[in-house]
C-alpha cells in the first residue's frame, strides 16, 4: 500500500507511532487482561503493537469484520453501535483505557459492533499473534490468565443461573393467574 498504510485502516501508516513505547507499556499495564504480564512482557507487546490515529467520525471497524486484534483507546472517544434488524442500537462510548475486541486476543472472532471515532482519537492495536507469542514464551502467564478467565466465566455462569431462576419464578407467578 502507498505509505505503508494497512488496507482500510484509515489510521496512521505503520511505523509512524505517535505514542512512545513507555506510554504503551503504561497503558497496557493498567488493563486487567495484562495484569499478569511483567515489565519485559509488556514491553514485548508494546513494541509489537501499532498506534493509529482517527479523525472525527472515521470508522475503526464494522460489525461482522474479522477481528485479529484488540483495540485499546489511548485518547479520544469511540462510539459503539450495533445493527439489529432495521434498528441501530447505541452501546455507548469507550474512552481512554477502554478495550474493543478483547476476545480477539484469545480466539478468531468477528467484531460485535461498529466502532466510530467521536472527534480525534488514538488507538493502540494489539495483534492476536503477538499476544499468543507472549503466552507461548511465558507459560506461567498463560496459566495465570487461564485461571482468571475461568473464574470470570464461572461467575458469569453463576449470574446466568440466577437470572434463569428468576425467570422461572416469573413464569410460575404468571402461570398461576
> How many alpha carbons lie under 13 Å from residue 52 in its C-beta half-sphere?
27
pLDDT per 10-residue tile (average), the chain, 177 residues: 37 50 93 91 94 96 96 97 93 95 92 97 96 93 81 70 73 58
Query: Which pLDDT belongs to residue 160?
Result: 74
Query: Which pLDDT belongs to residue 74?
Result: 95
- CA atoms of 9 and 62, how far apart (whole Å): 12
CA distances from 18 to 107, 123, 126, 131, 157 (A): 28, 10, 15, 21, 41
Q: In this structure, what DSSP letter does residue 24 have?
A: H
Q: In this structure, what DSSP letter does residue 48 have?
A: T
Query: Which pLDDT belongs to residue 131?
Result: 94
User: pTM value?
Assistant: 0.75
- CA atoms of 53 and 55, how far apart (whole Å): 7
Query: Which pLDDT belongs to residue 158?
Result: 73
Query: Which pLDDT belongs to residue 3?
Result: 37
Query: Which pLDDT belongs to residue 161?
Result: 79
Strand, coil or helix: 159 = helix
Burial of 117 (0-12, 13-18, 19+ CB in 10 A): buried
C-alpha cell of residue 166: 428468576
Amino acid at each position: 500500500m502507498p505509505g505503508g498504510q494497512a488496507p482500510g485502516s484509515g489510521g496512521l501508516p505503520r511505523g509512524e507511532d505517535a505514542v512512545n513505547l513507555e506510554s504503551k507499556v503504561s497503558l497496557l499495564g493498567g488493563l486487567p487482561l495484562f495484569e499478569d504480564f511483567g515489565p519485559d512482557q509488556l514491553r514485548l507487546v508494546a513494541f509489537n503493537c501499532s498506534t493509529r490515529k482517527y479523525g472525527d467520525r472515521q470508522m475503526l471497524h464494522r460489525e461482522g469484520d474479522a477481528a485479529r486484534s484488540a483495540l485499546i483507546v489511548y485518547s479520544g472517544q469511540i462510539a459503539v453501535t450495533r445493527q439489529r434488524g432495521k434498528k441501530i442500537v447505541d452501546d455507548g462510548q469507550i474512552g481512554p483505557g477502554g478495550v474493543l475486541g478483547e476476545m480477539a486476543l484469545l480466539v478468531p472472532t468477528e467484531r460485535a459492533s461498529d466502532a466510530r471515532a467521536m472527534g480525534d482519537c488514538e488507538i493502540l492495536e494489539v495483534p492476536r499473534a503477538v499476544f499468543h507469542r507472549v503466552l507461548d514464551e511465558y507459560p506461567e502467564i498463560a496459566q495465570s490468565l487461564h485461571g482468571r478467565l475461568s473464574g470470570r466465566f464461572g461467575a458469569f455462569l453463576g449470574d446466568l443461573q440466577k437470572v434463569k431462576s428468576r425467570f422461572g419464578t416469573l413464569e410460575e407467578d404468571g402461570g398461576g393467574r
